[in-house]
């Protein structure tokens, strides 16, 4: 499939992991604009396209995914998100590098390559541990900035052609990492072939990605958006890697993104023993009915319940003449705003990331302002769209509550927090 100038997305009709056409829709969400396409004031009058947002299940291998593929050029070339803008993520990557080095035990100066390396935060921690590092990042400005600050970064999309160039110029990699990006790729077979060719005989491919079982359990439905084509679990990935002569040999649970897994993959000829957690998680997935349509119907009902609770609360506040702001101009905010249908109730959004401030939200064009505005405009209440950081946001803005304001957590349970 290719993209035309007039059509920036297409619908895929086959499973990315096993090529089956036996696909069933399991969750329908409201179509949205691209989740992170916040626009500057000079583009505020532009109409932004919206795209379908439906999850499908492969009935043959259990892979859960969005079939709607938006042109990556439209998403990533002018990408403004940087790792250091996410609360706690830099510290997470510091521990990540430490844990991976302790597990893999690479030689000094071994090559570590990060695909989708963003601003080079993770690679910097590997470099600090005497590793040779190389990033691949298609967001050209972010890649240029990373290179200028000591993390060599190739400003391109990764594919098998680029992998040949990397091996020729840098040699094989002992560690290849891909964090919260493997789920964003349409042609997973092409990417996996490229990674396999880059790996040294004892090399390890490390993926960190949100875990669909935790997404359902923790009500992280707003993590569903167009960048995230795949919603991974262990059983489908285990079968997928075997197609390429690779082996999933270890998994770790990590708390990011509402619950993620870190997968460790080696060549089938690799020396590492498969750990018990691989089979334990596959058994867990079967036991909770992860690959049954009924499980997603129950998930959809829970999402709708949360929608009704929040909208009723906001309608009540608006009828009482209250002003309502949002907190968090993130990608997840777009999904939540559209699916809950609350655009007309939010006067503006505040965010702590300077790159988002004085922009307008995707599609709806709600103004995004610095969080200091809470003390200037004095809204009555704030809906925390970045609800996974709710406690730290409330703690940071005790002064807002001291003057009578209050915060609303929309998920996983509706909660209103006042000054005690």
Set out the domains of the chain in order of their start, with CATH numbers.
83-291 (3.40.50.150), 307-417 (3.40.50.720)
Q: Which two tokens stand for residue 121?
A: 């935060």
Residues 6+ apart with CB under 8 A from 292: none
Q: Which two tokens stand for residue 160?
A: 């098998």
pLDDT at position 1 is 42
pLDDT at position 256 is 84
187 by Cβ neighbours in 10 Å (0-12 / 13-18 / 19+) ranks as middle
| pLDDT tens per residue across span 310-322 | 999 999 999 999 9
Residues 6+ apart with CB under 8 A from 188: 16, 17, 182, 230, 240
Does 328 score more than 70 pLDDT? yes
Alpha-carbon distance of 409 to 305, in angstroms, equals 14
201 by Cβ neighbours in 10 Å (0-12 / 13-18 / 19+) ranks as exposed
**For residue 140, which of 84, 86, 79, 81 has the smallest C-alpha distance?**
79
Alpha-carbon distance of 17 to 62, in angstroms, equals 9
The kind and range of the H/E element at 64 are strand 64-65
Q: What is the dihedral of CA 40, 46, 49, 53, to 10 degrees?
A: 50
The kind and range of the H/E element at 265 are strand 260-267
pLDDT at position 420 is 64
Confidence of residue 71 (pLDDT cuts 50, 70, 90): confident
Distance set, CA 358 to CA 42, 101, 172, 351 (Å): 11, 41, 44, 10
Q: Residue 173 in contact with residue 112, Cβ under 8 Å? A: yes
Alpha-carbon distance of 33 to 410, in angstroms, equals 21
Does 77 score more than 60 pLDDT? no
Query: Cis peptide leading into 215, omega within 30 of 0?
Result: no
Q: Which two tokens stand for residue 342?
A: 């609350």
pTM (2 d.p.): 0.90
pLDDT at position 85 is 47
| pLDDT tens per residue across span 208-230 | 999 999 999 999 999 999 999 99
């Amino acid at each position: 499939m290719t993209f035309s100038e007039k059509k920036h997305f297409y619908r895929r009709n086959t499973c990315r992991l096993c090529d089956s056409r036996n696909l069933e829709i399991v969750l329908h969400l409201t179509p949205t604009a691209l989740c992170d396409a916040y626009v500057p004031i000079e583009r505020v009058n532009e109409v932004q396209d919206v795209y379908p947002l439906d999850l499908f299940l492969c009935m043959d291998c259990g892979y859960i995914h969005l079939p709607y593929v938006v042109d990556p050029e439209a998403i990533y070339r002018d990408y403004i998100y940087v790792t250091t803008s996410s609360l706690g993520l830099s510290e997470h990557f510091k521990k990540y590098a430490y844990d991976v080095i302790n597990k893999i035990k690479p030689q000094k100066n071994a090559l570590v390559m990060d695909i989708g390396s963003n601003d080079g935060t993770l690679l910097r921690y590997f470099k600090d541990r005497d590793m040779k590092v190389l990033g691949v990042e298609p967001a050209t400005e972010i890649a240029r900035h990373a290179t200028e600050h000591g993390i060599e970064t190739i400003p391109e999309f990764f594919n098998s052609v680029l992998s040949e160039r990397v091996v020729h110029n840098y040699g094989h990699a002992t560690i290849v990492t891909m964090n919260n990006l493997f789920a964003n790729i349409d042609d997973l077979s092409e990417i996996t072939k490229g990674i396999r060719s880059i790996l040294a005989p004892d090399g390890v491919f490390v993926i960190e990605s949100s875990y669909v079982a935790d997404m359902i359990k923790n009500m992280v439905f707003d993590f569903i958006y167009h960048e995230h084509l795949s919603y991974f679990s262990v059983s489908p990935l285990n079968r997928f890697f075997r197609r390429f002569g690779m082996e999933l040999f270890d998994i770790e649970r990590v708390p990011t993104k509402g619950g993620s897994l870190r997968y460790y993959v080696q060549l089938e000829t690799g020396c590492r023993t498969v750990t018990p957690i691989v089979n334990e998680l596959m058994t867990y997935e079967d036991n909770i009915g992860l690959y049954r349509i009924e499980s997603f119907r129950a998930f959809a009902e829970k999402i709708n319940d949360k929608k009704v609770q929040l909208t009723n609360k906001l309608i009540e506040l608006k009828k009482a003449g209250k002003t309502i702001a949002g907190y968090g101009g993130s990608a997840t905010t777009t999904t939540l705003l559209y699916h809950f249908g609350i655009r007309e109730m939010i006067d503006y959004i505040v965010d702590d990331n300077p790159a988002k401030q004085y922009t307008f939200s995707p599609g709806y064009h709600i103004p995004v302002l610095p969080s200091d505005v809470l003390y200037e405009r004095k809204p009555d209440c704030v809906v925390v769209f970045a609800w996974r950081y709710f406690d730290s946001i409330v703690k940071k803005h005790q002064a807002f509550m001291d003057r009578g304001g209050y915060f609303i957590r929309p998920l996983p349970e509706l909660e209103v927090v006042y000054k005690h």
